[in-house]
Structure 1
């Protein structure tokens, strides 16, 4: 009886994670929910097949289906699409920063003439981290976003921040670091995590 309760609790936590993060790879589910083996993770996800859909993108990527959204109260509809890689990259950063409790996705920062949506925000050691994922974005769009953060710093709205980027190539990493200039932060590439 206790084992069944534990199994149901883990399943519910996984469904709530999918509601929170939209897409999770099998290995991300394993890390976040401390599932020891790939085989066990596959079995757990098979048991959740009523609530989740999946597709292959290097490894299995899971998301809530209609039944899963109904169970969790999630309103966001996810499908198999290329933008899922953006979410997977953001999740890699969430895991790299030890799954912060205060991690919030898609947060709007608005002040005067500046309106910007950060991919995620969290705080660590008194420093607010602003997370941005550059998957297929044009460099000009990244530049505009960085300038908005610079303006918020100049207005004094943002203080003690660290801008954290995840991108795809070393060339893009170099460009982002150049554009950030004196803004505190760092840029990771996918290869830093895989």
Structure 2
């Protein structure tokens, strides 16, 4: 394959990843696409920026996202605008990379579970920060960035409520993954887990 075609395909693969992730750091893209050393990754992202397909804003580091031209090139209708949710998205992407970039990872999917309780049917509907299926187990991801501990407990209560019905339906126990910033939060989340299969990663 000609070098120019390989380069084009690599650039488009990076654009598709940004379409999925929303926002990403150089390190996210370097790890996901095996871009080699930091200088090489920076060179590649600089090329795509100069082509007009991605843009960045500087926080502690460059945060990349698609331009209108980048979305048009890959046929995406998903418009991403810079907003106050960027830190949350970047934390989720940190975890995505940490877990080895699961193939069927879905961001913010709508999850509905209907089950019988007594003589009536009950439905639980919720939207985790991400969901993926691996080794026969359904994983639900929650990012603990700026939300209150009360909100975390509410989410945990919901998972506790549907755990047994989920096992009946899917013949496997769901795994709940929290990603948090402090050891105190990590400890408190584990104290609230009751009978849940839960793991709490510390950023």
TM-score, normalized by length of structure 1?
A: 0.90
| Residue segments in structure 2 that go unaligned for 5+ positions in a row | 114-121
Aligned length in residues: 190
RMSD: 1.6
Tell me which stretches of 4 or more aligned residues in structure 1 moved more than 6 Å.
Answer: none
Give the corresponding residue for 2:18: 18
Q: CA deviation at 1:169?
A: 1.0
| 1:71 to partner: Cα distance | 2.0
- Counterparts of 1:3-152 in structure 2 under 5 Å? 3-49=3-49, 50-111=52-113, 112-152=122-162
Aligned-pair distance for 1:120?
1.1
The answer to whether the Cα contact below 8 Å between 2:133 and 2:139 also exists between their aligned partners in 1 is yes
- Where does residue 155 of structure 1 map in the other structure? 165
Q: Distance in 2 between matches of 1:76 and 1:173?
A: 34
Of 133-142 and 66-75, deviating more is: 66-75
Check conservation: 2:163, 2:173, Cα contact below 8 A: no
Does the residue aligned with 2:110 lie in a helix, a strand or coil? strand
Of the three residues 155, 167, 188, the one matched with 1:175 is 188
When Rg is computed on C-alpha atoms for both structures, the one with the higher figure is 2
Please say which of residues 174-183 and 69-78 is displaced more in the overlay: 69-78
Unaligned runs of 5+ in 1: none
Q: Please state whether the residue corresponding to 2:111 is helix, strand or coil.
A: strand
Q: Is the 8 A contact 1:106 1:117 kept in 2?
A: yes
Q: Separation in 1 of the partners of 2:66 and 2:95?
A: 21
Find the aligned partners of 2:14 and 2:150 in 1 and give their Cα distance: 37
TM-score, normalization by structure 2 = 0.87
